[in-house]
Amino acid sequence: MQRLRLQRFAMALATYTLVILATFLVTRLGLGRMNGAQWVTYIGLALFGNFIFFVLFYTNANLRFSDPSLTREQIVYSALWGMVPLYSLPEARPIVLMFYLPAFSFGMLSLTRRQYFVVEAYVLVFYAALLCLEYFQYSGFNIQYQLFLFILYGVLLTWFAFFGGFVSNLRRRLSLQKEEIKMEMEERKIVQIEKDKLIVELKDALRKVKTLSGLLPICAACKKIRDDQGYWNQIESYIQIRSDAEFSHSICPDCAKKLYPDIDIYKEDE
Predicted local confidence at residue 270, as pLDDT: 47
Residues 75, 134, single domain; the answer is yes
What is the per-residue pLDDT across 199-252, written as a single tens digit (0 to 9) for each? 888 877 676 555 556 667 877 777 777 877 877 888 777 777 777 667 777 777
Q: In whole angstroms, give the CA distance from residue 124 to residue 155.
A: 11
Q: In the predicted model, is pLDDT for residue 186 greater than 80? A: yes
- Residues 6+ positions from 74 with CB-CB distance below 8 Å: 9, 12, 53, 103, 106
Q: Are 232 and 225 a contacting pair, CB within 8 Å?
A: yes
Q: Is residue 188 part of a domain?
A: no
Q: In whole angstroms, give the CA distance from residue 156 to residue 149.
A: 10
Residues 100, 33, single domain; the answer is yes
**Region of poorest pLDDT, from 75-84, 88-97, 219-228:** 219-228
What's the pLDDT band for 151 if we cut at 50, 70, 90?
A: very high
Predicted local confidence at residue 265, as pLDDT: 67
Residues 8, 88, single domain; the answer is yes
Q: Compare 262 and 159 and report the one with higher pLDDT.
A: 159
Residues 17, 122, single domain; the answer is yes
Domain hosting 52: range is 2-180
What is the per-residue pLDDT across 93-118, written as a single tens digit (0 to 9) for each? 888 888 878 777 777 777 888 888 88
Residues 71, 149, single domain; the answer is yes
For the entire predicted model, the pTM comes to: 0.62
Among 48, 42, 53, CA closest to 8: 53
- Mean pLDDT of all residues in 147-158: 90
Q: Is residue 200 part of a domain?
A: no
What is the per-residue pLDDT across 21-74, written as a single tens digit (0 to 9) for each? 999 998 988 888 899 999 999 999 999 999 999 999 889 898 888 888 888 899
Q: Under DSSP, is residue 105 helix (H, G, I), strand (E, B) or coil?
A: helix
Residues 147, 256, single domain; the answer is no
Residues 124, 242, single domain; the answer is no
Overall number of domains in the chain: 2
Q: Which helix (H) or strand (E) holds 35?
A: none
Q: Which residue, 123, 150, 180, sits at the end of a domain?
A: 180
Residues 172, 253, single domain; the answer is no
Residues 9, 113, single domain; the answer is yes
- Mean pLDDT of all residues in 142-168: 87
Q: Compare 94 and 139 and report the one with higher pLDDT.
A: 94
Residues 106, 234, single domain; the answer is no
Residues 101, 170, single domain; the answer is yes
Residues 246, 158, single domain; the answer is no
Q: Is residue 216 part of a domain?
A: no
Q: Is residue 145 part of a domain?
A: yes
